[in-house]
DNA sequence: AAATAAATTGAGATACCGTATCGTTGAGAG
DNA sequence: CTCTCAACGATACGGTATCTCAATTTATTT
């Protein structure tokens, strides 16, 4: 269960942590903000404070359970760590997010960092555009 | 002078706009935050409000005079628009920023957007790492 | 199972970046 | 020069995220 993962991360097993991890694993959307999580918890009648949501997500990030990304629209989004790196393409209209991996891009970045004298630690690549999905429309 | 550029952008030529544009053109650092600009203006004994700095930078961005980027450390940074697109590599220790252009990466992104059904509008690629500069150390 | 020490929680206060408001000032057209 | 409206500075405000703190809960030790 989730209990094991939480324990393995060096954290005590508490109701909020279990609920949030469950939620991330079962969520329709892979990429969710802290507010998204908070609202989902409210819908599920879970009495968990917003501060706790931020705290737990941050702890999960530090433990490597989740990753945090900054998209342009303002707030951070979190996603379960799948283990393999990927980048994102985001629809500027409907917010849909897709993931991709391109080894060529990855390799070029290593080369660039090398040439410019940087020991690369990570990178963020986000492509923004308009998706061609039929149901694409601005969110309320 | 700067007056021409501002006029060409469709904006009235006012002291704050001229001062801020001068500052961007003469600044040691190409990539500066609104707060940076504000502090530099204070140092130069210019009596310009922070709200005006934000306003003017935003107007410059809308006019295409400057570009705005989000790095991970929190606040936005602005830079004069050089006309040609480039990406950034940022030192996580000292904050040094270098620019690069890689046509291979640019091409791959177009291809990816195409394959995933997105009409690409822009992208943000930032590499983070530790620079090998002698004077690299965490800022106060 | 009860006691204990330490970590975690929720509510609210607080911090931070950036924007909106508003009365005053000043650019620039006529 | 006059007049009009954009732009200004100060300050209040908004949204996201963090901090504080008393009360609770966990997990370990009797
Ligand atoms: Zn869309
Ligand atoms: Zn992802
Ligand atoms: Zn740049
Ligand atoms: Zn450095």
What six digits make up the tokens of B129? Answer: 């790492």
pLDDT (tens digit, 0 to 9) for every residue of chain B, 140 residues total? 889 999 999 999 999 999 999 999 999 999 999 999 999 999 999 999 999 999 999 999 999 999 999 988 778 999 999 999 999 999 998 889 999 999 999 999 999 999 999 999 999 999 999 999 998 887 76
Residue A123's domain comprises 84-140
Q: What DSSP assignment string belongs to chain B?
A: -HHHHHHHTT----HHHHHHHHHHHH-S-SSB-HHHHHHHHHHTT----HHHHHHHHHHHHHTTSEEEEE-TTSSEEEEE--SS--EEEEETTT--EEEE--HHHHHHHHHHHHHHTEEEEEEEEEEEEEE--TT-----
Same domain, yes or no: A43 and A67: yes
Cβ neighbors of B139 (< 8 A, separation 6 or more) are B94, B95
Nearest CA in chain B to A70: B72
Q: Which of B49, B66, B82 is the last residue of a domain?
A: B82
Quick check: A21 and A43 in contact, CB under 8 A? no
User: Which CATH number does the domain housing residue A129 bear?
Assistant: 3.30.1490.190
pTM to 2 decimal places = 0.89
Same domain, yes or no: B1 and B66: yes
pLDDT in tens, A3-16: 999 999 999 999 99
Interface with chain B: mutation pick from A85, A97, A115, A117, highest number of B CBs within 10 Å: A117
Number of domains making up chain B: 2
Same domain, yes or no: A36 and A62: yes
Same domain, yes or no: B77 and B120: no
CA distance B5 to chain A (A): 28
pLDDT in tens, A70-110: 987 778 999 999 999 999 999 998 889 999 999 999 999 99
User: Which CATH number does the domain housing residue B64 bear?
Assistant: 1.10.10.10
Distance CA A64, CA A62 (A): 5
Set of chain B residues whose Cβ sits within 8 Å of the Cβ of A76: none
Same domain, yes or no: B116 and B98: yes
Same domain, yes or no: A136 and A103: yes
User: If you ran DSSP here, which 8-state letter would residue A88 be given?
Assistant: E
Same domain, yes or no: B15 and B70: yes
Same domain, yes or no: B100 and B132: yes
């Amino acid at each position: 269960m989730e209990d094991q993962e939480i324990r393995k991360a060096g954290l005590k097993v508490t109701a909020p942590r279990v609920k949030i991890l469950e939620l991330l694993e079962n969520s329709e959307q892979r990429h969710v903000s802290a507010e998204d999580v908070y609202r989902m918890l409210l819908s599920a009648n879970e009495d968990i404070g917003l501060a706790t949501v931020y705290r737990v997500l941050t702890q999960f990030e530090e433990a490597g359970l989740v990753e945090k990304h900054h998209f342009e629209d303002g707030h951070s989004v979190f996603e379960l760590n799948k283990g393999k790196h990927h980048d994102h393409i985001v629809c500027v209209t409907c917010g849909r997010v897709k993931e991709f991996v391109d080894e060529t891009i990855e390799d070029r970045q290593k080369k660039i960092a090398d040439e410019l004298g940087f020991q690369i630690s990570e990178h963020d690549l986000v492509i923004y555009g308009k998706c061609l999905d039929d149901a694409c429309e601005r969110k309320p």
